[in-house]
């Protein structure tokens, strides 16, 4: 009898396999999950979202306090005007953010309040930013290898020359130094060398 029960359940499972709908492609399921996550992160009916919270939610800045600091520093513009951190963001607004040596220009597609994953965040705005500069131009001049120790005076001068910094007080071009590079000291009795 136990074998009959096994056969009956096998017959039932065979019948249900024939009538199952085809599985949906994985991309559609992922896109549906993104849409659900973005809707869940959105504000309730009629609520607005602060600009500092929105730029953090869509991952333009790492923390909300960095977003607020960018607003206070005048690095965030909504529709061309500088805004405070509490300024409301609406769908269709153009948000310009100057951050980490780069300007980001985005148009708001969806307003969200909570931070979401990068794929979901990318669906919440249209990125009109210029391409980032190549890494070679961004790299600072004069990076020393690890373990080489302190730079010598010659190395330091070469680094300053690369960075176009004014020369240090120890250079011969210092007007307070004598011909041999020794500093003149003023005393109460007079000038001595």
pLDDT digits (tens, 9 = 90+) for 35-67: 566 555 666 565 789 999 999 999 999 999 999
pTM of the entire predicted model = 0.53
Amino acid 187: pLDDT: 57
Angle, CA of 63, 128 and 94, to the nearest 5°: 70
Amino acid 164: pLDDT: 74
| DSSP assignment string, 151-170 | PPHHHHHHHHHHHTPPPPTT
Q: What is the residue whose two structure tokens read 């041999």?
A: 180
- Give the SS3 label for residue 180: coil
Q: Give the residue from 80, 86, 91 showing the smallest Cα distance to 68.
A: 86
Per-residue pLDDT of the chain (193 residues; tens, 9 = 90+): 544 545 544 444 444 444 555 545 555 555 556 656 655 566 656 578 999 999 999 999 999 999 999 999 999 999 999 999 999 999 999 999 998 888 999 999 999 989 999 999 999 999 999 988 777 655 566 677 888 888 899 988 888 888 776 655 555 555 555 555 555 555 566 555 5
Residue 28 is given by DSSP the state H
Give the Cα separation of 28 and 24 in Å (integer): 7
Angle, CA of 51, 49 and 123, to the nearest 5°: 80
Residue 164 is given by DSSP the state T
125 backbone dihedrals φ, ψ, rounded to 5°:
-150, 160
């Amino acid at each position: 009898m136990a074998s009959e029960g096994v056969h009956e359940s096998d017959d039932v499972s065979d019948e249900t396999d024939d009538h199952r709908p085809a599985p949906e492609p994985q991309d559609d399921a992922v896109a549906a999950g993104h849409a659900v996550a973005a809707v869940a992160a959105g504000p309730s009916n009629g609520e607005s979202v602060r600009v500092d919270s929105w730029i953090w939610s869509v991952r333009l800045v790492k923390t909300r306090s960095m977003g607020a600091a960018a607003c206070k520093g005048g690095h965030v513009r909504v529709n061309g005007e500088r805004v405070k951190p509490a300024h409301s963001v609406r769908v269709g607004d153009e948000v310009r953010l100057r951050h980490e040596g780069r300007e980001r220009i985005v148009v708001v597609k969806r307003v969200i309040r909570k931070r979401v994953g990068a794929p979901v965040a990318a669906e919440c705005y249209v990125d009109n930013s210029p391409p980032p500069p190549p890494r070679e131009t961004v790299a600072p001049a004069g990076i020393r290898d690890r373990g080489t120790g302190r730079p010598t005076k010659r190395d330091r001068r070469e680094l300053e020359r690369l960075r176009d910094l004014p020369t240090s007080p120890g250079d011969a071009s210092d007007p307070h130094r004598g011909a041999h590079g020794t500093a003149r000291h003023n005393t109460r009795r007079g000038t001595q060398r």
